[in-house]
Amino acid sequence: MSMFINILTTLILIAMLVYIYIKREENETNLGFKIIGYYLLGSFTFHMNAFPVPLGFLIFLFFFRPTMNRTAKHYSAYLGLAFFVLQLIIPAVEEYWYERPRDIAASSANMYQVTFAKDWLTIQEQLDIDPDARLEKFRAEYQKDGEIIRLSYDAVGQSDNEFVYYDIDFSSETQAYTVKRRKVGPQWLQYDRSVFASRFFDVLDEVQARNLTPEPSFERIILNSDGEFTSYAIEKGKKYLIRGKEIRELTNEELPVEGYFISVCGRTTYETTSSYTRSSGCLGDVAYFFDALLNSS
């Protein structure tokens, strides 16, 4: 879009300068170069403490008094001022257009039926996301029958030598993802330690969320992952290794384990008044690891 706007504004500028020249009041030596000069003067910008000032136009306004082709030269200077203003507006418009929320249909509103890899591929294609984008954070809360209460995740990809952050929220009402994105600069320190988003969703689809459950069964289930390759050596609690569709329990003798981590816990809900329902904290934590290295391996 930026290139298109630059080409369009350049063509408009050339057309306006030609029009001003054609509408000149009288013949004048080197008038074409003078019209360009007045335009450049009108568009000249001086930054005072990072605040742009149309210094060139102010100089024209106070010190220049053309006698020949006065109207043409004034129009050229004002055209320069107009493009000075455009230089301030266009980046804001481009940023707004780039960061505008996009709604993309989801495959299901049930955690056990969502095809995460397919949904992610659709999001990738529609927003032209880097195929090597990394998962930063994943959080889902759903009923024990799979009905999604909340689902969101973040991803980071690269575009034009800078990182782009994607904020993705699922709405059960519209059964769609709302995707927001913003450019975050040339560095993202934890990028190399984060799992490929496509890999995470492939694992989630293969192992199936219904098989990642806390014990005992809860009314609500919360599934989290920060997507970061980590080392884990906590002996207390249940730990499992994911390999393909297989899930097997990890023993303390196999610790520490290094890999990507998925945490699952549960909530119970109970009514305190006729109009307000409270829920417990997250209980019965279970840790799952994939693409992992074990102490015994």
Residue 36 confidence (pLDDT): 94
More confident residue, 176 or 160: 176
DSSP characters for 127-142?
A: HT--TT-EEEEEEEEE
Residue 5 confidence (pLDDT): 78
Grade residue 92 by pLDDT with cuts at 50, 70 and 90: confident
Same domain, 137 and 249: yes
Query: Which residue bears the tokens 């952050």?
Result: 165
DSSP H or E stretch at residue 89: helix 70-99
Q: Is the pLDDT of residue 297 over 60?
A: no
Average per-residue pLDDT for the chain: 91
What pLDDT, in 10s, does the model give residues 2-24? 677 778 888 999 999 999 999 99
Q: Is the pLDDT of residue 276 over 60?
A: no
Of 62, 80, 99, the last residue of a domain is 99
Average pLDDT over residues 243-268: 93
Can you tell me whether residue 80 is helix, strand or coil? Answer: helix
Q: Is the pLDDT of residue 140 over 70?
A: yes
For residue 41, the enclosing domain spans 2-99
Percent of the chain with pLDDT over 90: 71
Same domain, 93 and 106: no
Provide the pairing of β-strand 134-143 with 148-159: antiparallel
Same domain, 14 and 58: yes
Can you tell me whether residue 113 is helix, strand or coil? Answer: coil
Global pTM reads: 0.80
Same domain, 173 and 221: yes
Of 99, 134, 151, the last residue of a domain is 99
Q: How many domains does the chain have?
A: 2
Q: Is the pLDDT of residue 99 over 90?
A: yes
Same domain, 37 and 138: no
**Which of 17-21, 23-27, 87-91, 98-102 has the lowest average pLDDT?**
87-91
Residue 47 confidence (pLDDT): 84
Backbone conformation region of residue 284, classed left if phi is above 0, alpha if psi is from -120 to 50, else beta: left
What pLDDT, in 10s, does the model give residues 176-210? 999 999 999 999 988 999 999 999 999 999 999 99
Grade residue 67 by pLDDT with cuts at 50, 70 and 90: confident
Same domain, 52 and 174: no
Tokens of 292: 């992992």
Report how far residue 161's alpha carbon sits from residue 180's, in angstroms, rounded to the nearest whole number.
Answer: 19
Query: Which residue bears the tokens 């930026």?
Result: 2
Whether residue 292 contacts residue 259, with contact meaning beta carbons closer than 8 Å, is answered with yes
Same domain, 149 and 268: yes
Residue in 203, 202, 160 with CA at minimum distance from that of residue 184: 160
Residue 277 confidence (pLDDT): 52
Report how far residue 271's alpha carbon sits from residue 254's, in angstroms, rounded to the nearest whole number.
Answer: 42
What pLDDT, in 10s, does the model give residues 110-122? 999 999 999 999 9
Give, in order, the Cα–Cα distances in Å from 260 to each of 81, 211, 220, 230, 282. 55, 17, 24, 6, 21
Q: Is the pLDDT of residue 71 over 80?
A: yes
Residue 101 confidence (pLDDT): 96
Q: Is the pLDDT of residue 222 over 90?
A: yes
Residue 246 confidence (pLDDT): 94
Residue in 217, 216, 227, 292 with CA at minimum distance from that of residue 263: 227
